[in-house]
Amino acid sequence: MDPQLSNDEQKLRDKILQHAFPFDEKAWEAMQRLLDNDRRPAPPIPPPSETETRPGPAGVRKWWPLLLLLLLAVCILALWQNNRRENFSDQGATSYNAENRHAQSDSVRMAGPLLAVTHQASLENQQPLPGKTHATGAHEQMQRRHNLPTGTSRSPMVSADYAHSHSTAIVPAAKGISDPTPAFDPLADASRVDPGAAVPMHDSSSLLSQTGEPDSTQAWIISPLDTLPLVDIRLAAESLLPDSIIRPAPLYTNPHPGWEHAWIFGVNANAVDHDPLRISVLPHIGYLWRYRLTPRTAAQGEIILKYVTGYDWRAEFYDAVPGGSAQLILENNNLLFIELPLTIQRQVSAGHTWMAGLKPALVFPMFPSGSNSSSNFGAPRRNYTMRDGVRYFDLGLVLGWEYRFGRRWALDVRYNQGIFDLTIDNFFRSTETHLNSDLQVSLRHFVFKKDKPKKK
Amino acid sequence: MSHIRNSLLPIAALCLLASCKKEGVFPEDIRPADFYTQFAIEDATGRDTLFSLRGEDSVPLIPGYNLTIEYLSNAYVRDSIRYIWGGLGVSFLPIPFFIQLSNPQPQTDPFVPVEWQAEELEQLLYPGKTWQFGNAPGEAVIGIADFPDGLWSFNSASADNTQGYLRVLDVSDYGAPDLGTPYFGKKVRFQFACSVINADGETWTLRDGEAVMFFRYYTF
């Protein structure tokens, strides 16, 4: 009983609790019939007001998907733009020569998408990249199209009517070449080009070029189909034959010709003894300088600090004369190598490079131990150190392979074969041969100048 | 390309030049084990006994203490005759084996140092040189003794050695002056056979003898 209720309230409460409503079964049946007969559709939800804005987080959250899509689109556009510029650099760095003409068909097939990108970029770029590619920008192409009849420019001219009468996307043309053969050499035939003459069109699947100077070797006809979708041009490029004058897509070359620098982080497995075979596996660090002689050939110098342990060398000297004796024991287990490999590298396919060269190295015994004892004053004195018994200069041969799997990163696997015995035999009184031969696996992180912050 | 080639060639040449470093010059250990003697002793009863001794051999002196055989050499003058001897043993104890040589030229100048010079040894010790046994100038003496107790000792000085011989087989320099060793001289290999006699007149015969001894000299 609630103590806060009065007697009347309590009586009223009890009365209400004891009240029972009358039950009518017909009322339930009537209600059931009413529900079964009511089949009207649900009333529509009123549409939100289009102009109504709601302040607060809920309004911002509404735009998140759109912002994310926009950001994704910007990223894709930036990546595509960067890729397009690198392709331009590759084309500019690769000169057309006989070697490229005899490239494999795989490389030719790579030319399809590359050509499409190049052409698309030329339409979009208002400022062509000077000295990088012959695929000039849309501004220059439009200027050619408008100046076709004049013939005053150094660029090869074609008949505007002829151009408009053919549905060809991008076709290099030269006078008198009605049926270009696969051996067509634009460099050799450049002198035969008549800038003012109308040039017959060729099959779009046989003539497309990526490299070379347009003003001296190529004639570019810009038709109204220049604005065709990208997919059409790509399909046309993919059907190119390898024996045409199509210049194969260049191999993946470094977009930064000249000097390159990289840090080296790796692991080396040194054979510290061969009978029985004992291997020492330890990390090494270094730095490399690479000078690209050609797009596919480079000279590389490195400096590598390598620490090897487990040699277990021991040299003992004992001298005894009448009246005295002396004993000198020297032990060494560790060597520090400062290696200076000099290699020539040759890129054989996209990202894959073979290398060979010489490896001079400086050798330093580290943390030698031992003892020097003598009895009597007349004992001989040998002031030797472990440094006296170890060859301080070593020379080896290098054979390796490098895989450039990113703009900044490369994987290097190489085998170093030492040439000279590291130990002096009459010091250790042993004819065992100890060579600085090892297998090295390392990552190379390339550092570019533009990565460094500018000094104010 | 040419400038790269021009820079690589000197580097490669320098590398090859430096890599052709000669082996280090490290003198051999000066070890008493380089000196030894071995011969057969036929005593008065006709019994043969092999006598062998080498430097660094360990000989028990008293229980728990061993002596290590050293190579010994010394020079002295007596009766105007210059002597030099080389042997195996321990200082201040009876010499178990020694070979003593004398200079055929008498020494009359008292201011001439006792020590021998290299040239003097080279005049006396050369391969094929044969010595007569005796105490006269230009003769040799072989002596043996019990070691370390000194119970007996024999030498060839007074024995009849008309059938004996002492022949030099090899001679080489020994010692490492650059190590500061106080002794350096000639390492000589002998072949010998002789009779030795003790104070009691007992005679033994040494046969098939071979010895490598050290004869020191000074360069100052």
Alpha-carbon distances, residue B155 vs A198, B92, B142 (angstroms) = 126, 19, 6
pLDDT at A128 (0 to 100): 42
List chain B residues with CB under 8 Å of A424.
Answer: 23-24, 26
Separation in Å, CA of A354 to nearest CA in chain B: 19
Q: What is the Cα–Cα distance from B131 to B137, expressed in whole angstroms?
A: 11
CA atoms within 13 A on the CB side of A399: 3
CB contact under 8 A, A424 and B23: yes
List chain B residues with CB under 8 Å of A427.
Answer: 24, 26
Q: What is the Cα–Cα distance from B15 to A449, expressed in whole angstroms?
A: 32
Query: What is the greatest pairwise CA distance in chain A?
Result: 138
Q: What is the pLDDT of residues A354-385, one digit of tens each?
A: 999 999 999 999 999 988 888 876 677 888 88
Provide the pLDDT confidence category of residue B206 given band limits of 50, 70 and 90: very high
List chain B residues with CB under 8 Å of A296.
Answer: none
Regarding predicted confidence, which is higher, A41 or A233?
Answer: A41
Regarding predicted confidence, which is higher, A71 or B23?
Answer: A71
Q: What is the pLDDT of residues A288-301, one digit of tens each?
A: 999 988 888 999 99
List chain A residues with CB under 8 Å of B55.
Answer: 320
pLDDT at A288 (0 to 100): 94
Say yes or no to pLDDT of A90 above 70: no
pLDDT at B23 (0 to 100): 63
Q: Are strands A277-292 and A259-274 parallel, antiparallel or unpaired?
A: antiparallel
Separation in Å, CA of B20 to nearest CA in chain A: 9
CA-CA-CA-CA torsion sign (B161, B164, B169, B170): negative
Say yes or no to pLDDT of A122 above 70: no
Provide the pLDDT confidence category of residue A91 given band limits of 50, 70 and 90: very low
List chain B residues with CB under 8 Å of A382.
Answer: 179
B93 near A CB under 8 A: no
A427 near B CB under 8 A: yes
CB contact under 8 A, B30 and A321: yes
In this prediction, residues A399-404 reach a mean pLDDT of 94
Residue A437: CB partners within 8 Å, gap ≥ 6?
A: A270, A271, A396, A415, A416, A417, A418
Say yes or no to pLDDT of A87 above 70: no
Regarding predicted confidence, which is higher, A284 or B3?
Answer: A284
Q: Is B201 left (phi over 0), alpha (psi -120 to 50) or beta?
A: left
pLDDT at A178 (0 to 100): 41
Q: What is the pLDDT of residues A279-329, one digit of tens each?
A: 899 999 999 999 988 888 999 999 999 999 999 899 998 888 777 788 899
Rg (CA), chain A: 41
Q: What is the Cα–Cα distance from B91 to B88, expressed in whole angstroms?
A: 9
Q: What is the pLDDT of residues A56-83, one digit of tens each?
A: 444 455 667 777 777 778 767 766 666 6
Q: Which of B8, B181, B184, B215 is most worth mutating to test chain A (most A CB atoms within 10 A of its CB)?
A: B181
CB nearest to A319's CB, from B1, B30, B70: B30
Lowest-confidence pick of A138-147, A261-270, B199-208: A138-147
In this prediction, residues A181-205 reach a mean pLDDT of 42
Say yes or no to pLDDT of B180 above 90: no
Alpha-carbon distances, residue B96 vs A194, A394, B99, B166 (angstroms) = 114, 52, 11, 18
Q: Look up residue B25 and give its two tokens.
A: 């010059």
List chain B residues with CB under 8 Å of A293.
Answer: 1, 4
Helix/strand/coil for A61: helix
Return the residue matching tokens 């049926």. Answer: A179
Say yes or no to pLDDT of B100 above 80: yes
Say yes or no to pLDDT of A182 above 90: no
CB contact under 8 A, A321 and B183: yes
A420 near B CB under 8 A: yes
**DSSP string for residues in B12-67:** HHHHHHHHTPPPP--PPP--GGG-EEEEEEE-TTS-EEEEEEETT-EEEEETTEEE
A291 near B CB under 8 A: yes
CB nearest to A320's CB, from B1, B21, B70: B70
CB nearest to B26's CB, from A342, A419, A427: A427
Query: What is the greatest pairwise CA distance in chain B?
Result: 95
In this prediction, residues A29-36 reach a mean pLDDT of 87
Provide the pLDDT confidence category of residue A42 given band limits of 50, 70 and 90: low
CB contact under 8 A, A380 and B181: yes
A382 near B CB under 8 A: yes
Please, are residues B74 and B95 in contact by the beta-carbon 8 Å criterion?
A: no
Say yes or no to pLDDT of A203 above 70: no
Please, are residues A168 and A200 in contact by the beta-carbon 8 Å criterion?
A: no
Separation in Å, CA of B33 to nearest CA in chain A: 9
Say yes or no to pLDDT of A88 above 90: no
CA atoms within 13 A on the CB side of A405: 7
CB nearest to B180's CB, from A322, A380, A420: A380
Residue A16: CB partners within 8 Å, gap ≥ 6?
A: none
In this prediction, residues B172-181 reach a mean pLDDT of 78
CB contact under 8 A, B15 and A358: yes
What's this model's pTM, rounded to 2 decimal places? 0.52
Say yes or no to pLDDT of A386 above 70: yes
User: Residue B215 burial (CB < 10 Å; 0-12/13-18/19+)?
Assistant: buried
- Give the nearest chain B residue to A318 (CA atoms): B29
List the end-to-end C-alpha distance of chain A, in Å, as a whole number. Answer: 87
Q: What is the pLDDT of residues B33-85, one digit of tens each?
A: 999 999 999 988 889 999 999 998 988 888 888 888 988 888 999 888 999 99
Lowest-confidence pick of A234-243, A438-447, B118-127, B138-147: A234-243
Q: What is the Cα–Cα distance from A265 to B64, expressed in whole angstroms?
A: 61
Separation in Å, CA of B60 to nearest CA in chain A: 19
Return the amino acid letter for A374: S
List chain B residues with CB under 8 Å of A321.
Answer: 30, 181-183
**Considering chain A, what is the average pLDDT of its residues?**
68
